[in-house]
Structure 1
Amino acid sequence: MSTLKLAVAKDGIAVVTLANPPMNAMDAALLEEMANLFEGLAVDRAVRAAVITADGPAFSAGLNLKTTPGLDRLGQRRLVDALNNGFGTLYAWPKPLVAAVNGHAIAGGLILALCADWRIVADTPMHISLAEVRVGVTYPVAPLQIARAELAPSAARRLILLGETIDAASAEALAIVDERVPPKILLARAVAQAQRHAGLPPQAFATTKRELRAAELERIGAARAGQGEPRLAAWLGEEMRRASAAVLRASSAVLRGAASGLS
């Protein structure tokens, strides 16, 4: 069953929606589906730009902490490959990509937003974080390269290294997102920005984007080819299992309360 919805308007703006509420948790299947979808949109001449958003109270809470710690070695390898391929595909996508962050953006959920060329967040209570260090997970190549490239050094230190959780206003102040708008106009604003950026000369845009991100894309490409990815050995160890269980216990009640308040 697909966890992504796709709608392409007559003006060539594609809207891709994560459709696994309430938390839109990620797994290998979702990331693989996302990579395949955006690879197809990249070569579709009718598509000029895209918006990525989500159903429910969360944009995405990242990996599913209930199932990820139990993955065997093959499952871990598939997930690392899917993270590098999925995020690598979006970060290299040759057309304008806008993120409409409707709610919680945690760990991989925030990486997904950082893949976009323009990011808009709803002005609503939410958690925004890169929680990997708190759950004992070391970053695969693609997520780390994207976060390091897209965050200012002070924001990278606070989010990547220290695992801080911030809100929408702080994300705007730290230039993690470009705009903060009322929830009711989030999608319309994102579509309008996609239309605006779609007016750029497409070949020049694609070339400039590729060259601007050349260093990161080179490292991500090597990881996608099976080179230079240290996570392909044992990735999720006992430290991760203990840390993720503690975080899951501490956060589940908070997230459920926030979700019910936003629904």
Structure 2
Amino acid sequence: MAVSIAERAGTLWLTLLRPPVNAIDLEMVESVTRIVEETKPDHPIVLTGKGKSFSAGIDTTAFAAYSKDQRRDMVLGITRMVCALVCHPAPVVAAINGHALGGGLVLALTADYRVAGAPDAKFGLTEAKAGVPFPIGAVEVIRHEIPAPLLRNLTLTSRIINQDALLEAGLIDQVSQPDNVLIAASQALHVLKGQPGFRAVKRQVRGLLQARLTALVEKGDDPFLKAFGAA
């Protein structure tokens, strides 16, 4: 099973579950998407990873073994997955418990609030180094969430940074002790969901990204499918 879920007091706790580094494969993409899309719109979500990694990004070994159709499903599925998370009406909080690289960092950036508790963890957008482009949905997320100069630097150099640099850049909202990250995420979520205007304001401030991702899902295409060996 690529993910685990638990419901506590009306909150869905969604844990990425592919040891040792929770690398993203097609099963995980489809599972996360289905779970989020089926979650009631008034139920908040906490997204985290099992063990010492949030997610190290795409499982390139699994992806290399996929058929062309599976690769297409994976690339388009990533756009649908990030769309589901960004468009969820209730608060989504990322409890970043460890390394978040490539698609793992993109997943964290879909959240409305991000808590990190991994002072030794590595963060980066290393697709150029890995030899693959970003799915179009991931591009939309990072363009909206990362300031342009930092985005250029992170993506074109594959530079690795730590959580302090993420906090300074405003890409995460809070740091906690490693053994306290889930509690801190829960506390942050309590504050978010207690605001009566949260859903309306989320539509205002994240509506452009929501609309763009929704349009891409409806289009069902990606201009870089050929580069993924999926066209």
Scaled by the length of structure 1, the TM-score of the pair is 0.82
- Give 1:258's aligned residue: none
- Pair 1:198 & 2:193 matched: yes
Are residue 40 (structure 1) and residue 52 (structure 2) matched?
no
Unaligned runs of 5+ residues in structure 1 are 238-263
Q: Does 1:213 align with 2:212?
A: no
| C-alpha displacement of 1:130 | 0.7
Deviations 1:118-168 (A, max 9, x none): 101114311101111211222222101111111122321221232211111
Percent of residue pairs bearing the same amino acid type: 28
Q: Which residue of 2 aligns with 1:245?
A: none
What is the alpha-carbon distance in structure 2 between the residues aligned to residue 206 and residue 73 of structure 1?
39
Are the aligned partners of 1:51 and 1:100 in contact in 2 as well (CA < 8 Å)? yes
1:162 aligned to 2:160? no
**Partners in 2 of 1:67 and 1:236 — Cα distance?**
13
User: Conserved in 1, the CA contact under 8 Å of 2:25 and 2:59?
Assistant: yes
2:219 is aligned to: 226
Conservation of the 8 A alpha-carbon contact between 1:80 and 1:231? no
Structure 2: how far apart are the matches of 1:205 and 1:229?
A: 32
Match of 1:14 in 2: 12
Q: Where do 4+ consecutive residues of structure 1 move more than 6 Å?
A: none
When residues 227 and 51 of structure 1 are mapped into structure 2, their CA distance, relative to the original with a 3 A threshold, is closer
Q: Give per-residue Cα distances to partners, 1:211-252, cap 9 Å, x unaligned.
A: 3233323332222123562133x2325xxxxxxxxxxxxxxx
TM-superposition CA deviations, 1:28-77 (whole Å, max 9, x none): 2111111111112134x5x2x22111111110011112121233321221
Instruction: Please say if residues 21 and 53 of structure 2, whose CA atoms lie closer than 8 Å, have aligned partners that are also in contact.
Output: yes
C-alpha deviation, 1:116, in angstroms = 0.4
Q: How much is the aligned-residue C-alpha RMSD, in angstroms? A: 1.7
**Structure 2: gaps spanning 5 or more residues:** none
Question: What residue in structure 2 maps to residue 56 of structure 1?
Answer: 51
Q: Match of 1:72, as an amino acid?
A: S
| Alpha-carbon distance in structure 1 between the residues aligned to 2:118 and 2:51 | 15
Whether contact under 8 Å (2:36, 2:85) holds in the other structure is yes
Q: Distance in 2 between matches of 1:79 and 1:145?
A: 17
Q: Does 1:103 align with 2:98?
A: yes
